[in-house]
Amino acid sequence: MVENVEAIYQRIVARNPGETEFHQAVKEVLESLGPVLVKHPEFAELKIIERISEPERQIIFRVPWQDDRGEIHINRGFRVEFNSALGVYKGGLRFHPSVYLGIIKFLGFEQIFKNALTGLPIGGAKGGSDFDPKGKSDNEIMRFCQSFMTELYRHLGEHTDVPAGDIGVGGRELGYLFGQYKRITNRYESTVLTGKGISWGGSLVRTEATGYGAVYFVREMLKMRKESLEGKTCIVSGSGNVAIYTMEKLAELGAKVIACSDSNGVIVHEKGIDLDLVKRLKEVERRRISDYADHHKDAKYLAGGNIWKIPCQIAMPSATQNEINGNDARHLVGNGCIAVGEGANMPTTPEGVKIFLDAGIAYGPGKAANAGGVATSALEMQQNASRDSWSFEYTERKLDDIMTRIHASTYETAEEYGAAGNYVVGANVAGFIKVARAVVALGCI
Ligand code: NDP
């Protein structure tokens, strides 16, 4: 990191103590920005890095709810409205016990640049709660969502802040959240959320978008190397929304997915993962991935196993942050992996990223590779605004175009800044410049 940027980083760390994931996300972006400040001294003069690293607004609130036995629980809710220079605050809600301010801020910070890369008019935000949806009944989930929205609703609006889902928040949760919003406000403003059900204002392809988009990004990276997905052996971590639709698109484009996981273990099925079964277990029955092995005797379940030790040509981390450390990255590279496409946010530690870049494999960071989800959320907003609904094929074509453009702009920016093939630099610089120009244009506000 160049000297003046390092000093800014140290001030951010001191100002936000204990928020390690936020520090990691900021450092990773700032490390790319030295040459940008040389080309654009006005960004340093106008303190653009400092302004972008400080959220515009941070909301923390109490979420009380009652379980089925009548016991009261208190969770904490968050919404960090990070930057609205390019458009309304946009970014998902995460329900997971690991959630605290540092996680929401890392995700919100990443979201600013990701949203800028889509080329669509959306600012960056993130929210969520330390609530653990695992093992809760439908009614408990509903009561929690209602309590969460009872506070959050006053901060939302079509022209203010439009959340979507993330870990632990899918169609069911968004439905309960919107139901409560509608009840409190007495307004059918489905434009305040994206990722909605198709019957109440949602967009086709939104469910599939993050996973499909990540695969399109990998397809483009391979194209640059005169390679394709056809016949490639792949592993995909996680078995949630992003993982499932990553696996679906990989299979559709001729690749073979041999492993997926959840936080308890890994399923390895050399014949190829049976996606219909994964969908039934995870989306319908809400079970653990270990149950997969009961249906396929030739599949292996590795309790507590490490998915990254399984040899593959393409790896697509689609579970959570820092799931690939230096050792995992070494295993992947050593076993002949040629491409990594991040469906998850910041799934690779800085040491892991360095190993991928040094090895010269095609490495697509989440900020660029998983932007298809939020891009399709913006397409959902366009359909809502025009009271229109587009076909699956039309929407998917738009998603494909957006991902192809994000790939091209990150690739070209990396080249322009003397880091050919380095999509980390490409994504950070291209995203930052877009936001920085807008911040400059809006004045000191
Ligand atoms: P889901 O809740 O649908 O699925 C999450 C999956 O990851 C589950 O299989 C879960 O296993 C696993 N997982 C979660 N936390 C951990 C952990 N600490 N250790 C190991 N495994 C874990 O979430 P999504 O698929 O929506 O999100 C996955 C990733 O993609 C996240 O990083 C998210 O931020 C990112 N992302 C999501 C977008 C979207 O549109 N949904 C958009 C862009 C990025 P288990 O059930 O055992 O917890």
- Which amino acid is located at 314 in the chain? I
CB 351 within 8 A of CB 328: no
Question: What are the residues facing 303 on neighbouring strands?
Answer: 265
Alpha helices, DSSP H only, in 186-274?
Answer: 206-224, 241-252
CA atoms lying within 13 Å on the CB side of residue 27: 13
Cα 41 from Cα 35, distance rounded (Å): 10
Strand order in the sheet with 256-261: 300-303, 265-268, 256-261, 233-236, 314-316, 339-341, 362-364
Q: Whose C-alpha lies nearest to ligand 1, atom 22?
A: 263
Instruction: Count other Cβ atoms within 10 Å, centred on residue 194.
Output: 26
- Averaged confidence pLDDT in the chain: 97
Cα 86 from Cα 429, distance rounded (Å): 16
- Which amino acid is located at 389 in the chain? S
Q: How far apart are the first and last CA of the chain?
A: 28
- Residue 320's pLDDT is 98
For a mutational test of ligand 1's pocket, the pick from 99, 167, 321, i.e. the residue with the most ligand atoms closer than 8 A to its C-beta, is 167
DSSP 273: -
Residue of 116, 83, 117, 110 lying closest to 94 (CA atoms): 110
Question: What are the residues facing 157 on neighbouring strands?
Answer: 161
Cα 228 from Cα 338, distance rounded (Å): 11
CA of 130 to the centre of ligand 1 (A): 14
* 0.95 exceeded by pTM: yes
CB 161 within 8 A of CB 88: yes
State which ligand 1 atom lies nearest to the alpha carbon of 371: 43
CB 379 within 8 A of CB 351: no
**E strand or H helix at 91, and its extent?**
strand 88-95
**Contact residues for 267 (Cβ-Cβ < 8 A; gap 6+):** 239, 259, 260, 261, 273, 289, 290, 292, 293, 299, 300, 301, 302
DSSP 289: G
Cα 340 from Cα 344, distance rounded (Å): 11
**Contact residues for 227 (Cβ-Cβ < 8 A; gap 6+):** 338, 339
pLDDT single digits (tens) 154-198:
999 999 999 999 999 999 999 999 999 999 999 999 899 999 999
Q: Domain locations in the chain?
A: 2-189, 209-364
Alpha helices, DSSP H only, in 128-170?
Answer: 138-152
CB 261 within 8 A of CB 372: no
CB 75 within 8 A of CB 129: yes
CA of 34 to the centre of ligand 1 (A): 32
State which ligand 1 atom lies nearest to the alpha carbon of 347: 32
- Which amino acid is located at 6 in the chain? E
pLDDT tens across the length of the chain (445 residues)? 788 899 999 999 999 999 999 999 999 999 999 999 999 999 999 999 999 999 999 999 999 999 999 999 999 999 999 999 999 999 999 999 999 999 999 999 999 999 999 999 999 999 999 999 999 999 999 999 999 999 999 999 999 999 999 999 999 999 999 999 999 999 999 899 999 999 999 999 999 999 999 999 999 999 999 999 999 999 999 999 999 999 999 999 999 999 999 999 999 999 999 999 999 999 999 999 999 999 999 999 999 999 999 999 999 999 999 999 999 999 999 999 999 999 999 999 999 999 999 999 999 999 999 999 999 999 999 999 999 999 999 999 999 999 999 999 999 999 999 999 999 999 999 999 999 999 999 999 8
- Residue 408's pLDDT is 98
- Residue 421's pLDDT is 97
Cα 194 from Cα 378, distance rounded (Å): 8
CA of 238 to the centre of ligand 1 (A): 6
CATH number of 2-189: 3.40.50.450, 3.30.210.10, 3.40.50.10860, 3.90.550.10? 3.40.50.10860
Are the folds of 2-189 and 209-364 the same?
yes
- Residue 445's pLDDT is 84
Cα 431 from Cα 387, distance rounded (Å): 30
Residue 126 annotated to the active site: yes
Q: Which of 90, 105, 114, 126 is catalytic?
A: 126
Please give all residues whose beta carbon lies within 6 A of any atom in ligand 1, as ranges.
165-168, 170, 210, 238-243, 262-264, 318-320, 343-345, 370, 373
Superfamily, domain 209-364: NAD(P)-binding Rossmann-like Domain (3.40.50.720)
For a mutational test of ligand 1's pocket, the pick from 203, 208, 236, 241, i.e. the residue with the most ligand atoms closer than 8 A to its C-beta, is 241
- Residue 3's pLDDT is 80
CB 166 within 8 A of CB 343: no
